[in-house]
A and B are shown apart, each in its own frame.
Chain A
Amino acid sequence: MIGTTAILVSGAVLGLGTFGYRVAGPLLRTRFTPSPWTQELMTTGATVLLFALVVTSAVADGREPADLARPAGVLVGGVLAWKRAPFVVVVLAAAGTAALLRLLVR
């Protein structure tokens, strides 16, 4: 399927590329200080990304739609979080809802 060298090189390229994304911002920060306006925009941007990640990963695997149990679990967790339930409750309720629905449907 794939040889040892190919695995080693693939991992190194993926790892270096990912590390490059990760350190670009922190390394630039050692040379420039962004204005408070820019800093606030970048923080909002990170939140926008995380929320988009929540929504897309709740309903899809790549381009394929996920089963209904997953969005149902995330929704239950989201409602509990909105009602300021403790973090542990939110996480366990989301997992429990999805797991239970799958158990029932199977």
Chain B
Amino acid sequence: MDLRRLSEELGPGLLRDIVLVCLAVGVVGVSYGAITVSEGLPVWTPSYFSLVVLAGASQFLFTGIVAAGGSPVAAVVAGLLVNARHLPFGFALADTVRGRPLLGGYLMIDESVAFALAQRDPRVRRVAYFTCGLLLMLCWNVGSLLGALAGTTITDTDALGLDAAFPAVLLALVLPSLRTAGTRRPALLGAAVALALTPFLPAGLPVLFALAGLVLARPGREPA
């Protein structure tokens, strides 16, 4: 599919938004590559992880734990906990990736999930999902490789405010569905539960407990 057709399918605004997020992810990828190599891991490690894992938070966590002297087993377990949210994501998006479950599964990333769920039309949702997923994969891998090769160029993306940009990206994408009470009530309860558990549980688990908020969901009923 060429770029002009893609732009027609998604609308120029949506394609631009997706590209913006992917470029930001690329910058974080550069910092991931640089940090991982500067912590003493071999130069091929960031690219290997970015290709086979493709989940930023768990990759950063792995580097951090191993660099701090933790065992690889502990680092893998921590990464698997952080990534467990992809299981419920997969059930929500099963219809969207129908016909391509393996590629669709591989490209399941917070941002591609959020961009897809923000689209009402199933066809646009599918195109948005695969476009965002493929671009994210590309930018993340190119960034990781450049960072690993260039070394300590960009290690502090916090100075750019990117750590605030990514929650804002997801927030902007879920806000429209939060305008309906049927989604807002479970989301608020879920976030409160996750927040309360955050100081006590390892990363990844509090977010899973947010699903308890679904007790307030009333599927099948039009929201008030």
Contact = CB atoms under 8 A, between A and B. Distances in A.
Interface of A: 1-2, 4, 6-15, 17-19, 21-30, 34, 36-60, 62-63, 66, 69-74, 77-78, 81-82, 86-88, 90-100, 102-103
Nearest to A3: B72
A67 to B, nearest CB: 8
Most chain B CB neighbours (cut-off 10 Å) among A34, A45, A66: A45
Contacts of A88: 16-17, 20
A70 B163 contact: yes
Contacts of A28: 91, 94
A87 B17 CA distance: 7
Contacts of B191: 48, 51-52, 54-56
B113 interface: yes
B106 to A, nearest CB: 7
Contacts of A6: 72
B158 interface: yes
B154 interface: no
Contacts of A22: 86-87, 89-90, 105-106, 108
Nearest to B116: A46
A50 B211 contact: no
Contacts of B202: 62-63
5 contacts: A2-B41, A25-B94, A29-B95, A49-B211, A81-B175
Range class of the B interface residue count: 35 or more
Contacts of A57: 166-167
A81 B168 contact: yes
B123 interface: no
B62 A10 contact: yes
Contacts of A30: 98, 101
Nearest to A65: B199
A90 to B, nearest CB: 5
Task: Please give me the 3 A-B residue pairs with the lowest Cβ-Cβ distance, nearest first.
Answer: A25-B90, A73-B164, A77-B168
B161 A96 contact: yes
A49 B166 contact: no
Contact of A8 (B48, B88, B173): B48
Nearest to B18: A87
A102 B158 CA distance: 9
B3 interface: no
